Amino acid sequence: MYFQLFALLVILIGIILVNKKRRKLPPGPVGIPILGYLPFLGKVPSLTVAELAKKYGDIMSVYFGQYLVVFINDVDLMKEIGKIDVFLGRNQLELMKPIRENCGLIFLEEKGWQEWRRFTLKSLKDMGFGKNSMEGLIQDQVEDFCSFLKRNVNSPIYLKDPIEVAVINSLWIILAGEKYDIEDPEKREILKLMNEAFSDQDILGITAFLPWLARLFPVSTGYSKGLQCLGAPLNLGKTILAQHKEKYGPGQEKDFIDLALTKIYETTDPASSFYKDVGLKNLVFTVLDIFYTGSDTVSSTLGWAFLAAASFPETQWKLQKEIDEVVGREKIPSLMDKSKMVYTEAFMFEVLRKSSMVPFGVMHTALEDAEFHGFFFPKRTILLWNLYGVHHDEKHWGDPHVFRPERFINPDGSLRKDDHLVPFFTGKRNCPGDSLAINEFFMFLTGVLQRFNVELEDPKTMPDFGQRPGFILKPPAHKLMFTERSAMKCRLDKAG
């Protein structure tokens, strides 16, 4: 009896304290002590948050475990807050702290982040990243991928692995000066672990907001798996770095790692994020950050795109019609063709909008106590951009749950760019690789559909294009059938 009364008193006091703390905070739902609102997120958190945003408005706060989390649900507010330096911190998972210590481009803050972002953008640009000079590398991978499809025509294919290999190689050549050997069992396992780490909700749920519970139950919460997923890629990064240090020669830089080593060896300021061992550690994690975010997001985007083309035959027909008219069948599609292909770009925009692969972006934090639009943000408040909500706002899009590329085409036939489409985030910490991602997306999409038709393995079973749990949302597991266009016209042509 006394224990029950004591427990009730603790709960009541907890609720009172939480409500008191929230007086200056943005509005939002009240959870329960210790766990906060985590038990009420449901199976698909992005859908739950989108519904909560309708009730609590453009700036909404909620406790996840012991952490205060603020969701920004309006695109204009995202752009505004993303430019304010005090909100440019990064929240690092407890799981990562013993390993990363806020190292690498994604998790560095303030001066260190500025130094590495500036260096990374310049170096990747010098190496051809996002420029036409990289076009040949991408075209080579498109050719290899089309050769793979040709060997497997009329056979159901699960595209995940072959797409990832094709996308990874063009990026890994710039970073490390070599192709990513997917036949190497160790590298294949590392790629698998990295995919699981970022697509598994448990790893980015309980371990993020209830680290004490994760440590108590490491297997069931995914904590042990998370450590494994972090450890294997780190060993790969260290191995690649060691190989580069052995072969390094000043003035003979061949890739991003070589350029970074030159910068590190030339740095004499102990306060710099490039200084000696600190610089080397930042280099390892920056390479891994670029490698994974640059490859997994593009390969997942292509997976969604081919699934959409197979699911909506009329859309596929329009894409192929434009490819034939602008590029033809003889030459390989190039980046010079993109500006002339309005429907193709509109289709790409719609894939990015509908999939919303990173529904909440990457966690920001407030570096100090701050105010924004009349609300108080305590130091280390976590901020998340509700990208899924923006991309599926009925007030703006009208029919957001319908796949309709035409929404991005003006009445006069020109391309309509919409500022509510923010797949690469917004603000000072937006994705530095957006130009490469778009270029790869365009060249793989047009290069494949120029030569092949794509159909669902079972046309009677439509895949689910809705949201699902995870940090990076991959398309639903599915198999597609590819047929050479020279052998068979599109189904709509046949029907006509």
CATH number at residue 91: 1.10.630.10
- Residue 18 pLDDT > 80: no
Q: What is the dihedral angle through the alpha carbons of 10, 218, 196, 169, rounded to the nearest 10 degrees? A: 120
Identify the burial level of 266 via C-beta atoms within 10 angstroms of its C-beta, where 0-12 means exposed, 13-18 middle and 19 or more buried: exposed
Instruction: Tell me the pTM.
Output: 0.87
Provide the residue range defining the domain that includes 460.
Answer: 2-495
How far apart, in whole angstroms, are the C-alpha atoms of residue 357 and residue 361?
9
| Residue, of 79 and 124, whose pLDDT is higher | 79
- Residue 100 pLDDT > 90: no
Q: What is the pLDDT of residue 202?
A: 44
- Residue 175 in contact with residue 284, Cβ under 8 Å? no
Task: Read off the pLDDT band of 492 (50, 70, 90).
Answer: very low
Mean pLDDT score of the chain, rounded to an integer? 85
| Residue, of 93 and 351, whose pLDDT is higher | 351
Q: pLDDT (tens digit, 9 = 90+) per residue, 25-64?
A: 999 999 999 899 988 988 888 889 999 999 999 999 999 9
Residue in 442, 401, 393, 463 with CA at minimum distance from that of residue 422: 393
Q: pLDDT (tens digit, 9 = 90+) per residue, 255-306?
A: 899 999 999 999 999 999 999 999 999 999 999 888 877 777 888 899 999 9
- Residue 488 pLDDT > 70: no
| Residue, of 212 and 442, whose pLDDT is higher | 442
Task: Read off the pLDDT band of 118 (50, 70, 90).
Answer: very high
Q: What percent of the chain has pLDDT over 90?
A: 50
| Residue, of 125 and 356, whose pLDDT is higher | 356
- Residue 204 pLDDT > 50: no
Tell me what the mean pLDDT of segment 386-407 comes to: 95
- Residue 359 pLDDT > 60: yes
Q: Which of 47-51, 203-207, 308-312 has the highest mean pLDDT?
A: 308-312
| Strands, E assignment, 308-418 | 364-365, 370-372, 375-377, 382-385
Query: Which residue shows structure tokens 């706002």?
Result: 393
Within 10 angstroms of residue 116's Cβ, the number of other Cβ atoms is: 25
- Residue 88 pLDDT > 90: yes
| Residue, of 101 and 245, whose pLDDT is higher | 245
- Residue 403 in contact with residue 464, Cβ under 8 Å? no
- Of 3-7, 185-189, 315-319, 465-469, the one with minimum mean pLDDT is 3-7
Identify the burial level of 267 via C-beta atoms within 10 angstroms of its C-beta, where 0-12 means exposed, 13-18 middle and 19 or more buried: middle
Q: What is the pLDDT of residue 129?
A: 62
How far apart, in whole angstroms, are the C-alpha atoms of residue 143 and residue 302?
15
Task: Read off the pLDDT band of 489 (50, 70, 90).
Answer: very low
Tell me what the mean pLDDT of segment 185-205 comes to: 60
- Residue 357 in contact with residue 383, Cβ under 8 Å? no
- Residue 176 pLDDT > 70: yes
Residue in 82, 20, 27, 30 with CA at minimum distance from that of residue 54: 27
How far apart, in whole angstroms, are the C-alpha atoms of residue 345 and residue 188?
33
Tell me what the mean pLDDT of segment 333-341 comes to: 94
**Residue 319 C-alpha from the chain's centroid:** 25
Helix axes 223-247, 185-199, angle to 10 degrees: 130
- Residue 282 in contact with residue 104, Cβ under 8 Å? yes
Looking only at the bridges linking them, the beta strands covering 375-377 and 370-372 are antiparallel
Residue in 476, 462, 217, 442 with CA at minimum distance from that of residue 334: 442
How far apart, in whole angstroms, are the C-alpha atoms of residue 131 and residue 436?
8
Q: pLDDT (tens digit, 9 = 90+) per residue, 208-260?
A: 788 888 888 888 777 777 777 677 678 888 888 999 999 998 888 888 999 99
Query: Which residue shows structure tokens 């937006």?
Result: 430
Q: How many domains, in total, are found in the chain?
A: 1
Which tokens sit at 267? 């740095």
Tell me what the mean pLDDT of segment 204-210 comes to: 73
Q: Where are the alpha helices (DSSP H) in 337-433?
A: 342-355, 387-391, 394-397
Looking only at the bridges linking them, the beta strands covering 67-72 and 382-385 are parallel
How far apart, in whole angstroms, are the C-alpha atoms of residue 389 and residue 372?
20
Sheet holding 382-385, edge to edge: 59-64, 67-72, 382-385, 364-365, 89-90
For residue 224, CA distances in Å to 227, 334, 392 come to 5, 45, 35
Within 10 angstroms of residue 255's Cβ, the number of other Cβ atoms is: 18
How far apart, in whole angstroms, are the C-alpha atoms of residue 103 and residue 93?
12
For residue 397, CA distances in Å to 198, 223, 323, 392, 407 come to 29, 39, 27, 7, 8
- Residue 491 pLDDT > 50: no
- Residue 207 pLDDT > 90: no
How far apart, in whole angstroms, are the C-alpha atoms of residue 15 and residue 304?
43
Residue in 289, 286, 293 with CA at minimum distance from that of residue 112: 286
70 SS3 class = strand
- Residue 168 in contact with residue 441, Cβ under 8 Å? no
- Residue 2 pLDDT > 70: no
Q: What is the pLDDT of residue 178?
A: 79
Tell me what the mean pLDDT of segment 170-186 comes to: 75
| Residue, of 345 and 470, whose pLDDT is higher | 345
Q: What is the pLDDT of residue 387?
A: 92
| Residue, of 423 and 192, whose pLDDT is higher | 423
Q: pLDDT (tens digit, 9 = 90+) per residue, 373-382?
A: 999 999 999 9
